Amino acid sequence: MYRIRKALPGYLFLLPACLLFAGFMFLPIFKGLQLSFQKWTLNGYEWVGFSNYNHVFGDSFFWKSLWITAVFTVITVVAGLVLSLIAAFMIDPFQQRMQGVFKSAFYLPSVAPIVIVSIIWLWLYHPSFGLLNYLLDFVGVSPILWLGDPKIALFSIILMTVAVSQGANILILVTSLGGIPKDYQEAARIDGANLWQEMIKIKLPMLKPTLTYLIVVNTVGSFQVFAPIYMLTGGGPNRSTTTIGYLIYENAFKKFDFGVASAQAVVLLVIVMIIAIFQFRTMSEDLEY
């Protein structure tokens, strides 16, 4: 009884945060799951069982959108982490003050609202007076329809995402590199290891927990991509950039088919959970340093 009374103030302090978390996380999930078994009509919601899920699994465009989302996720996560690792390894040798300058410079684009960033890149991609086509014309290359060509539009959005969203990754990786004991690196240098061997044999293995976390978090975030699609292409051209997130938005707020949209959201949640669990099981490893 004494132990419960002693711990009670701590739980009371946690209670508001837990209530807010439940209200803004678990309640919407429960409501979405409930809506996935219903259909909205003028008379209210009507229970339709698994009809919405049958519609989702039988819709070929849902699977196409899932494929587009998977391509977007794989490229952005892999390319983003590779570039973040390169940047982190380049920043790591500097002193703390200079590291702070570089970390701030890389992190600032991540702070800007994605809507503002998308508007800037919309101008960069403009077919007539965009900066990218101006540079191409300067070197004698014909202008490119960055957002108007179905074969290029998705990769244009991927390019923007990779370019502006690596600040947090770089910040975390630089901090993790700073936490690696210098003894290991000094011992490797004494044994004759060069800089490349030091990076591959010591630093990368020690970064595995951090990389696992970043891969899982970036994968989950990429599967939910919406704002760049909405701002730059609206799912076009020819539906070549319609991701799952944008498809859910269309069904819910353009077609007002909340049941199908909720079913798609539930399927997306299950897919992301399976991928996250698989990534943790295959990549997680307990390392202490």
Cα torsion 13, 14, 17, 22: sign: negative
Domain assignment present for residue 200? The answer is yes
Domain extent, residue 176, equals: 47-284
For the chain, which ranges sit under pLDDT 70?
1-2, 42, 284-289
170, part of any domain: yes
Count of structural domains, the chain: 1
State pLDDT tens for residues 122-143. 999 998 888 999 999 889 888 8
Tokens representing 128 are 């007539």
- Output the pLDDT for position 222: 94
Using alpha carbons only, how large is the chain's radius of gyration in Å?
Answer: 24
pLDDT value of residue 42: 63
Is 22 inside a domain boundary? Answer: no
Which residues touch 108 (CB under 8 Å, ≥6 apart)? 167
CB 102, CB 214: distance < 8 Å: no
Let me know if residue 38 belongs to a domain: no
DSSP state of 287: -
Residue 16 located in a structural domain:
no
Q: What is the CATH number of the domain that holds 180?
A: 1.10.3720.10
Identify which of 277, 225, 262 has the alpha carbon closest to the alpha carbon of residue 29.
Answer: 262
* pTM of the predicted protein model: 0.89
Q: Please, is 209 exposed, middle or buried when counting C-beta atoms within 10 Å of its C-beta (0-12, 13-18, 19+)?
A: middle
Per-residue pLDDT tens over the stretch 192-219: 777 777 787 788 888 888 998 999 999 9
Q: Answer whether residue 14 is part of any domain.
A: no
The rounded distance, in Å, linking the Cα atoms of 260 and 54 is 9
Domain annotation covers residue 98: yes
Which pLDDT score is estimated for 125? 94
pLDDT of residue 7: 75
Query: What is the DSSP-derived secondary structure letter of residue 59?
Result: -
Query: Distance (Å, rounded) from C-alpha 207 to C-alpha 202?
Result: 9
